[in-house]
A and B are shown apart, each in its own frame.
Chain A
């Protein structure tokens, strides 16, 4: 395998942003046809930047890119796909109000099939000097019908399902991703780069994607996949390349390595790959939710008669396929969702219970309910992207104090403390949050929420898109809170993590509770079945762990 000419080789690639941020330093990387390469690294280690230089979004400061052994310069996305490079970005590059077909033909000059093996052709064109400009096709009239036909053809070939006439804003995340992949193939991509493709997919959707990727590998395409999930690396890739702080650390053959070795290379030191689960201390009911029913603004029933209790000093996990009411549940508790029916009782330390339905978020958070919510757009609800770290800390505290002027000193100190304790990688505390990488943004948010000393900590998808090391830092933080007697509600996607971290796990299915199980004894398959169906109760779980209130109603 090693004596093949790589489809792409990058040599000595360096890229800096501004004067001080080094995104990539002297990186060498080879990508081969008929092979899946995993690009592994912590958040902010420069994986995406490196790939963006292949796809023409960024231009390297120094270094050489070669395609099929020939040196090339890729100075724009257009040139990248002339070389057969297609990238599926983490944040999809699709125009929401366009149809699938319109998005797919965007930027092209005609609906003709691009000549196969773009590489061979560019070879000729380059030899003839004048570069790719010699093969510039002439523009033809926009013909969406013809485009739709070709889209269907590609779909049939690889087993996709795309309706060319469907508008993007009507699509699910997984459908959007499919459109992106079809778009790349439509352009005749031979080298496909996927940036964290599974971060937003359900496990089933991810399996489907991997099946397609394997098809493409058989087809002789070169595939690069950026991911944080080690089990995915192990299941899909042939080789793993590891980046750390913008530098190339090394590469491994997937079959000959294991999760521990990859993690150590990524982080640069030994990392323990298990999650602590201290026994709950002083556990007593903190939040008692009874018969909660929530409807979305367009009248869809999001939560149907949900009842459970969250105890202090305990982590309550919430499992479920995404969009099953997790978001609405947390928002209802935090006072951000109108509640149709049901009660949410907050039980204070002295045992007095008060109903928090109908109170506004300020009143609720004054009682000690803190919401650390990570919607798909991380900067949407928790932080203000254009404000710096200190100002974002102030969002929690600006109401405090009686004087006319706000207190800027305390949040500043808090920001410094959070940066220090959570090892946030930032230039200074006056850097706008938007410029930080995903993991660091998340740490800022969680750090701030914890600093307000809550008694209830609601967290949703806190580790989404985070690398392993940052994820473990967050788990540790949650455990610390638990040991302080905080009632932690953890909405998660990864069942393995839920099973390792949580004391109890409530499974939601279509807005209903399909059961509450003990995190220590439950098994993954059982939870998986409860996630998809209300009626299939795993054996042996029923008597002890089912929510008594629900059972009596059956």
Chain B
């Protein structure tokens, strides 16, 4: 029996890391920086949170203080992703290095960084299984809204998530509003479209680019944190995060650079990502892998459709991926 309420709530849980990654990447791309380091940033965000909470859990034996249990991993995660953002900004904006190369290098680095520290922590705890469980911290993160259980399927679909899930949706909506309606958003979009124009209009290009990339990385990093603390119930195992980072980047194109659309699109992707669990495949691994391809196929179809419609507003920011130097001739 296909349990629709469970499927939707699982899809939403699955969608949140994608949504964070997609929102972060959108901010970055709107300012003209194609940050292919996002998958790495999400790994770093995740492991930074894990390190933070590991240190806190080790230092306390009894009951964890809920506030500290949340704020320490959160700050650690934001700091870790911010450093990644600064690294990307410094290399691509200040030194004008090639964004694709830096981004790919950062992804490789971020995954390695996560696995190295993850592996080290697992070794420190002397665990038998290749994973590290932070269930006490996870308990704080994954606390669902109090009345979720009383409302049956309705509660399951709308109230059964940890606070980071709601925060992710809020961030997407706020980002969408900022980009579309405010002066800051106007400036960021102008830089992504045509930096020379923005420059001539007196906008501080480097400042906005740094801010966009770093804010984008910090938001994406939260996706990694959510994955470990809530989705995976505080269990870190190496490479478990998988290719969600790439899926988030695909999602940016899928949503034609609109975080508000991303809320639903990420749920769709999340649903497609776990569909194989809900469709009887009879243990046939090949079929399962075929189902896992669905999100990417949908992205390709959307690319084809937007490519054919060819509406200017739906195209990538015009100077996406290009460095800007005022005095270049």
Q: A17-B327, A106-B190, A142-B181 are contacts. A96–B199 as well, Cβ < 8 Å?
A: no
Q: Does A520 lie at the interface of the complex (its beta carbon under 8 Å from any beta carbon of B)?
A: no
Q: How far does the alpha carbon of A5 sit from the alpha carbon of B201 in the complex, in Å?
A: 28
The one of B203, B312, B326 in contact with A169, judged by C-beta atoms closer than 8 angstroms, is B312
Residue pair A77, B201 in contact (C-beta under 8 Å): yes
Q: Which of A87-95, A198-206, A239-247, A328-336 is the contact stretch?
A: A87-95
Q: Does A435 lie at the interface of the complex (its beta carbon under 8 Å from any beta carbon of B)?
A: yes
Number of A residues near B (Cβ < 8 Å) is: 32
Taking the closest CB of chain B, its distance from the CB of A14, in whole angstroms, is 15
Cβ of B315: which chain A residues have Cβ within 8 Å of it?
A: 97
Q: Does A343 lie at the interface of the complex (its beta carbon under 8 Å from any beta carbon of B)?
A: no
Q: How far does the alpha carbon of A56 sit from the alpha carbon of B326 in the complex, in Å?
A: 10
Q: How far does the alpha carbon of A76 sit from the alpha carbon of B186 in the complex, in Å?
A: 20
Taking the closest CB of chain A, its distance from the CB of B322, in whole angstroms, is 12
Taking the closest CB of chain B, its distance from the CB of A501, in whole angstroms, is 32
Q: A87-B200, A94-B197, A106-B201 are contacts. A435–B329 as well, Cβ < 8 Å?
A: yes
Taking the closest CB of chain A, its distance from the CB of B189, in whole angstroms, is 7
Q: A93-B194, A93-B200, A96-B193 are contacts. A142–B183 as well, Cβ < 8 Å?
A: yes
Q: A95-B193, A97-B313, A167-B312 are contacts. A107–B182 as well, Cβ < 8 Å?
A: no
From 70 to 129 in chain A, residues with beta carbon under 8 angstroms from any chain B beta carbon are 76-81, 87, 89, 93-98, 102-103, 105-109
Cβ of B189: which chain A residues have Cβ within 8 Å of it?
A: 95, 98
The one of A56, A80, A87, A105 in contact with B186, judged by C-beta atoms closer than 8 angstroms, is A105
Residue pair A142, B201 in contact (C-beta under 8 Å): no
Q: How far does the alpha carbon of A96 sit from the alpha carbon of B316 in the complex, in Å?
A: 12
Secondary structure type dominating chain B contacts:
helix
Taking the closest CB of chain B, its distance from the CB of A193, in whole angstroms, is 12
Residue pair A57, B318 in contact (C-beta under 8 Å): no
Taking the closest CB of chain A, its distance from the CB of B17, in whole angstroms, is 30
From 202 to 219 in chain B, residues with beta carbon under 8 angstroms from any chain A beta carbon are 202-203
Cβ of B202: which chain A residues have Cβ within 8 Å of it?
A: 56, 76-81, 107-108
Residue pair A96, B200 in contact (C-beta under 8 Å): no
Residue pair A107, B327 in contact (C-beta under 8 Å): no
Q: Does A469 lie at the interface of the complex (its beta carbon under 8 Å from any beta carbon of B)?
A: no
The one of A89, A97, A108 in contact with B200, judged by C-beta atoms closer than 8 angstroms, is A89
Q: A98-B190, A106-B201, A167-B312 are contacts. A93–B182 as well, Cβ < 8 Å?
A: no
Q: Does B187 lie at the interface of the complex (its beta carbon under 8 Å from any beta carbon of A)?
A: yes
Secondary structure type dominating chain A contacts:
loop
Q: How far does the alpha carbon of A72 sit from the alpha carbon of B329 in the complex, in Å?
A: 25
Q: Does A210 lie at the interface of the complex (its beta carbon under 8 Å from any beta carbon of B)?
A: no
Taking the closest CB of chain B, its distance from the CB of A540, in whole angstroms, is 49
Closest to B318 in A: A96
Q: Does B91 lie at the interface of the complex (its beta carbon under 8 Å from any beta carbon of A)?
A: no
Q: Does A141 lie at the interface of the complex (its beta carbon under 8 Å from any beta carbon of B)?
A: yes
Q: Does B198 lie at the interface of the complex (its beta carbon under 8 Å from any beta carbon of A)?
A: yes
Interface flags for B150-194 (1: CB within 8 Å of A; 0: not) read: 000000000000000000000000000000011100110110011
Q: Does B196 lie at the interface of the complex (its beta carbon under 8 Å from any beta carbon of A)?
A: yes
Taking the closest CB of chain A, its distance from the CB of B270, in whole angstroms, is 30
Closest to B315 in A: A97
Cβ of A435: which chain B residues have Cβ within 8 Å of it?
A: 329
Residue pair A97, B312 in contact (C-beta under 8 Å): yes
Q: Does A55 lie at the interface of the complex (its beta carbon under 8 Å from any beta carbon of B)?
A: yes
Residue pair B200, A98 in contact (C-beta under 8 Å): no
The one of A55, A57, A108, A141 in contact with B182, judged by C-beta atoms closer than 8 angstroms, is A141
Cβ of B198: which chain A residues have Cβ within 8 Å of it?
A: 95, 106-107
Other than the known A55-B200, A169-B312, what 19 A-B pairs have Cβ atoms closer than 8 Å?
Answer: A56-B202, A58-B326, A81-B202, A87-B200, A93-B200, A93-B201, A95-B190, A96-B312, A97-B312, A97-B315, A97-B318, A98-B186, A106-B198, A107-B190, A107-B198, A107-B203, A141-B182, A142-B186, A167-B312
Top 6 closest pairs, chain A to chain B, by CB: A78-B202, A107-B201, A93-B197, A107-B202, A106-B201, A93-B200
